[in-house]
Amino acid sequence: MALTTGRLGSAIRGEFPILAHTTYLNSCSQGALSHRVRAAYEEYLDGWDERGAEWEVWVERADAARAAFARLLRAEPAELAVTTSVTQGVSGIVSALDLRARPKIVISEYEFPTVGQIAHAQELRGAEVVHVRPDPDGSIPPERFAEAIDERTALVCCTTVSYRTGHRNDVAEIARIAHESGALCLADSYQAIGAIDFDARALGVDFATGGTVKYLLGSSGLGFLYVRRELLGTLLPTQTGWFADEDIFQMDISDYSPAADARRFDAGTPPVPNIYAGLAGISIIEDAGTAAIEEHVAGLSTRLIDGLDGFGASVATPRDPGRRGPLVCVRSTDADALVAVLAVARIVCSERDSNLRISLHLYNVEDDVDTLLAALRARRDLLA
């Protein structure tokens, strides 16, 4: 039975105006807008009106975002860079790699395009990129990574939850395998953070990245990069900027002297409006608690998968709650048409790879699942 009390489920739906008239199942794309996030934008604009440029406040807000990301990852603020995107974080990582010593970058077939594209861009610097492909059942067992990783591997990229199928990788085991060969491990966790309980150190990854536009309920243009503290002494990003400098306001153009902590992966002026929104969104997640959200979401997705099984739909996401996150994908004969049909009924989903993507979050309730199931049963012709 899914929880619907506390600071999630029906108890918080009033915070999100769109939920009054829409079945919103698209947090994998963008989380719903809350009153709290709207008020945060207003606060940013009020400060601009009343006080003008607030550089010191911006630095303080960026550090508040750093601390909030650290709490979500159970890490230290010194291990977090505040970025504008996953792209910035991953580009910063590869810019710090010595590809002469270790030219291989291993990526799972489920990486988001930006990760694959950045990896392949390193071919211009001599990198060799190896793709780890899923088994016929759609999972990527850690052994497939083991087959690809060797002493020449610099970096292994294993997304935590696939944005295409909802599969959750065994990140801890993949990180362990990477470390056995002396490689570093990055977990792009955009499809997980905010909807599952996350412990970067327990997973053993070297890097984790994500952002606020999805399950953290903020806007686009704000992300994070976790860098395991033991690496900070050795990794020097060549993609950099003045907010990554050891003394931001020294305004010194004579050398490269990055911050001692993970702020060395920051870049230019922080995305201030997005930070206001992101902090407000994260506060909603923290009020509910990520462990409670994960349990709530697992209950709803089990109800959804059981319902889909009930009329013979083909579910692409694993049955085992430990092998999936908040995203459930179902195979469609025409996913674009199905998304459009659902939109007419005010049910918001999205599609990738011939799959309908249904994403569940703290504000979803059993009624949402049942409404969707009824709509899909009525359009069984659009399901594979």
Residues in touch with ligand PLP (CB under 6 A) = 85-87, 112, 114, 159, 163, 188, 190-191, 211, 223
Beta strand residue intervals within 7-83, DSSP E: 23-24, 80-83
Q: Pick left, alpha or beta for residue 276 (phi over 0 → left; psi -120 to 50 → alpha; otherwise beta).
A: alpha
Distances (CA, A) of 276 to 38, 95, 256, 268, 272: 10, 29, 30, 17, 6
How far apart are CB 357 and ligand PLP at their closest, in Å?
A: 10
The rounded distance, in Å, linking the Cα atoms of 367 and 30 is 21
When the beta carbons of 157 and 376 are compared against ligand PLP, the nearer one is 157
When the beta carbons of 15 and 219 are compared against ligand PLP, the nearer one is 219
Say which residues have a Cβ less than 8 Å from residue 52's Cβ, sequence separation at least 6: none
Structure tokens at 336: 């674009």
How far apart are CB 221 and ligand PLP at their closest, in Å?
A: 8
How far apart are CB 326 and ligand PLP at their closest, in Å?
A: 12
When the beta carbons of 16 and 190 are compared against ligand PLP, the nearer one is 190
When the beta carbons of 223 and 326 are compared against ligand PLP, the nearer one is 223
When the beta carbons of 35 and 133 are compared against ligand PLP, the nearer one is 133
How far apart are CB 110 and ligand PLP at their closest, in Å?
A: 8
Contact (CB, 8 A) for 27 and 361: yes
When the beta carbons of 86 and 335 are compared against ligand PLP, the nearer one is 86
How far apart are CB 191 and ligand PLP at their closest, in Å?
A: 5
Count CB neighbours of 180 within 10 A: 11
How far apart are CB 222 and ligand PLP at their closest, in Å?
A: 9
Q: What is the rounded end-to-end Cα distance, in angstroms, of the chain? A: 29
